[in-house]
Structure 1
């Protein structure tokens, strides 16, 4: 195992609440140990697979669509739970994170440990800022991602 720990903020900061993943990555700068890979992705599967290649632990932060929507509600998902969400109902992207995780599993490219921290979104229209509900969830979502990174380092450093 490489011990490599990667945090990926999935989303587009130009599309309202879809920018929450990149916002969390920015908020983590200086809060996680040196050597932690902090990356932003638009969610395209090949790019995601490339970013996490060789990682032992991957933490993904993502915007989540649900019906009925509860903007600002936080979720922590296992890969199986995230992969169980169908395209268009969970992700704000055309090819959803669930689809990407299912593909990674089929290709045996899932990292040993992967967790998804997500927030339910209100508005993903082009040119809008984060909604008040999602902006209010940013500190807790960042804390959850930081806690996952700390846990990964603790596991890595166990004898």
Structure 2
């Protein structure tokens, strides 16, 4: 049996304020042994190509639900993602991209979405203080999810 490598994909645009949080998370995790990382603008075909051959996969993106900026959201994409909230600040939403992959039978076995409630989208701006403050929390949650997914996939003796 060949173990698949875990992957974290940061979605967003670092030149649009808090939309850069996905890329910032990937930068923070880039040197983690045994973990692949990638950056994406969220286009569905690109995401499906990036996660091919990887499991578990974690997607990280700025989202808009109306919650307090910096609020962390975690969704298991084995279930359909809610469509009421904008789980992306891009043209096609993250929920739509995941559902397209599901309909094409292209979802990894484990696909977790971590969304960080954004405070601002401004061209040329960096991350807001609220989002910068959430960076360590989301990295910790992702590493916990990955450890749980990897230990669960290998079973217990």
TM-score (norm 1): 0.89
CA distance in 2: counterparts of 1:150 and 1:39, whole angstroms: 19
Q: Which residue of 1 aligns with 2:106?
A: 109
- Taking the TM superposition and a 5 Å limit, the aligned residue runs for 1:55-134 are 55-67=54-66, 69-79=67-77, 83-86=81-84, 89-134=86-131
Q: Does 1:10 align with 2:11?
A: yes
TM-score normalised to structure 2 length: 0.90
Alpha-carbon distance change, 93 to 76 in structure 1, aligned in 2, over 3 angstroms: same
Shift of 1:120: 0.2
- 1:150 CA displacement: 1.9
Unaligned runs of 5+ in 1: none
Gap change, CA 1:27 and 1:4, over 3 Å in 2: same
Q: 1:33 to 1:156 in 2, by over 3 A?
A: farther
In structure 2, how many angstroms separate the alpha carbons of the residues matched to 1:119 and 1:146? 16
Alpha-carbon distance between aligned partners in 2 of 1:81 and 1:133, rounded to the nearest angstrom: 29
Contact (CA 8 Å) 2:58, 2:113: kept in 1 or not?
A: yes
Report how many residues are paired.
Answer: 155
Which residue, out of 113, 137, 144, partners 1:140? 137
- TM-superposed deviation, 1:83: 2.7
Q: For residues 73 and 116 of structure 1, what CA distance do their matches in structure 2 show?
A: 14
**Unmatched 5+ stretches in structure 2:** none
Contact in 2 for aligned 1:60/1:117 (Cα 8 Å):
yes
